[in-house]
Amino acid sequence: MEIQAIKQRFGIIGNSPLLIRTIDIARQVAPTDLTVLITGESGTGKEVFPQIIHQLSARKHGPYIAVNCGAIPEGTIDSELFGHEKGSFTGALEARKGYFEEVNGGTIFLDEVAELPLSTQVRLLRILESGEFLKVGSSKVLKTDVRVVAATNVNVEGAIRKGKFREDLYYRLSNVPIIIPPLRERKEDIVLLFRKFAADFAEKYRMPVLEMTEEARLMIENYRWPGNVRQLKNITEQISIIERNRKISPENLRRYLPESSFSELPVLYQGETRDASFTERDLLYKVLFDMKKDIHDLKKIVGDILEGDKNHVHLAESNSHFLNLDDEQQVSIRKPEPPVALQKEYNQDFEEPIQDSEIVEESLSLRKKEIDLIRKALEKYNGKRKHAARELGISERTLYRKIKEYEID
């Protein structure tokens, strides 16, 4: 079956290359009996793909069942999946078949499979490897012929590291992995989905169809959609019911979209695909502006020191290495330069052009400054070198050497 026919049959909206690729993988794996693991964020529509796989397989005339593993209590999950014998536990008044026995010859979809308890994971692994299972409270081995399609929005590899999911089960489930792309990676599909949902709700509630301004269209395309297609559908329904003005503007949209999920630059987001040059460019802008601010602050501090500003005497206390500079050492403060290819472009965004360098000659002034600071400290403590050294942030031995070197009385 062609991709377009599959989209129409299962109500899939979108022309994103990532979505088309995902549908194509499901189509190719369907005729086989391979186990499939579907991963993707919540709200991306993972539940559609097991149906595609089942309907395009040789098992299409067999039973199909979808089981939400996270919605079944841990104490009854084994009974639900594998069945139980009469009297096997309190309340087991009669024997019961489990899903794997009922769906023999068909397909079972285990949604949120990462929520299964470890003991149940062992039972599931046995079915996948041999088709054998035991009912709860029974010692009789039963066999079943069921194709398993599993799905989860959990980072399975992280769950394995935490000991919450069996590694051997993960590799057994993911014979063929299918990754559903999030809506933010399908920007070209967002407006199509909005229009489809708006038309459906207009028909359902018997009201005019929503329309969007160009600015509103750009806004929903740049929104992150953490809830993916499910969130887009819910918000479209809210707007359809509440807004009287059927021409939606950015101001209307902001009432329904959380501000924290708007795209702001520069931004780094794990798993998100962005234009690399665009991200690098904005990060460079931010780094350069931060450097410019730091350089201005540093220039002011050095200038105050050289002018003998009394307010910076205590600066020497937290920077004891200041007094350990060699007499002929110079301090050079150089502004960072952007890459040559970007220098002309970035320079125009600064209030001041980026200069090559600025060198402060201070071999003589530092010597004089040291002598003044030492004398002031000695005067303050009546010549007591121990207290003067502590005030200056240096050792008493270093102070003695300085006094002797500078011939301070």
Mean pLDDT by 10 residues, the chain (409 residues): 94 96 97 96 96 97 96 94 92 93 97 96 96 95 97 95 96 96 96 96 94 95 95 96 93 87 45 42 59 70 64 46 46 44 44 43 62 86 85 83 82
| Same domain, yes or no: 194 and 307 | no
pLDDT at 38: 97
pLDDT at 26: 97
336 CB neighbour count, 10 Å cutoff? 11
* Three-state DSSP state, 256: coil
| Same domain, yes or no: 360 and 291 | yes
Strands 331-333 and 358-360: antiparallel
The residue to which tokens 């051997």 are assigned: 168
| Same domain, yes or no: 214 and 152 | no
| Same domain, yes or no: 169 and 192 | no
Residue 271 lies in a domain: no
Residue 266 lies in a domain: no
- Report residue 22 as tokens: 């995902």
| Same domain, yes or no: 76 and 225 | no
CA 357 to CA 302: how far, in whole Å? 15
> If we measure between CA atoms, which residue out of 253, 136, 279 comes closest to residue 198?
253
Q: How many domains would you assign to the chain?
A: 3
Helix H or strand E encompassing 251:
helix 250-254
Class of residue 108 by CB neighbours under 10 A (exposed 0-12, middle 13-18, buried 19+): buried
- Given a contact cutoff of 8 angstroms between Cβ atoms, the answer to whether 393 and 399 are in contact is no
CA 80 to CA 116: how far, in whole Å? 12
Q: For residue 2, give the amino acid letter.
A: E
| Same domain, yes or no: 29 and 174 | yes
| Same domain, yes or no: 164 and 191 | no
| Same domain, yes or no: 236 and 304 | no
280's CB contacts (< 8 A; 6+ apart) are none
| Same domain, yes or no: 290 and 226 | no
Residue 376 lies in a domain: yes
CA 26 to CA 48: how far, in whole Å? 10
212 CB neighbour count, 10 Å cutoff? 22
Residue 270 lies in a domain: no
Which of 120, 155, 181 is at the close of a domain? 181
Class of residue 35 by CB neighbours under 10 A (exposed 0-12, middle 13-18, buried 19+): middle
Residue 301 lies in a domain: yes
| Same domain, yes or no: 388 and 284 | yes
Residue 11 lies in a domain: yes
Which of 140, 157, 181 is at the close of a domain? 181
pLDDT at 401: 83
Q: Which domain holds residue 61?
A: 3-181
pLDDT at 398: 85
∠ Cα 375 379 383 (to 5°): 95
CATH code at 87? 3.40.50.300
pLDDT at 392: 83
| Same domain, yes or no: 322 and 224 | no
Long-range contacts of 335-342 (CB under 8 A, 24+ apart): 335/291, 335/292, 335/295, 336/288, 336/291, 338/284, 338/288, 339/284, 342/281, 342/284
| Same domain, yes or no: 67 and 24 | yes
pLDDT at 264: 43
Residue 168 lies in a domain: yes
> If we measure between CA atoms, which residue out of 135, 50, 136, 54 comes closest to residue 101?
135
> If we measure between CA atoms, which residue out of 366, 361, 370, 363 comes closest to residue 394?
370
CATH code at 219? 1.10.8.60
DSSP secondary structure string, 50-113?
HHHHHHTSTTTTS-EEEEEGGGS-TTTHHHHHHEE-TTSSTT--S-EE-HHHHTTTSEEEEETG
pLDDT at 387: 84
Residue 267 lies in a domain: no
- Given a contact cutoff of 8 angstroms between Cβ atoms, the answer to whether 189 and 76 are in contact is no
Which of 123, 156, 181 is at the close of a domain? 181
CA 132 to CA 141: how far, in whole Å? 6
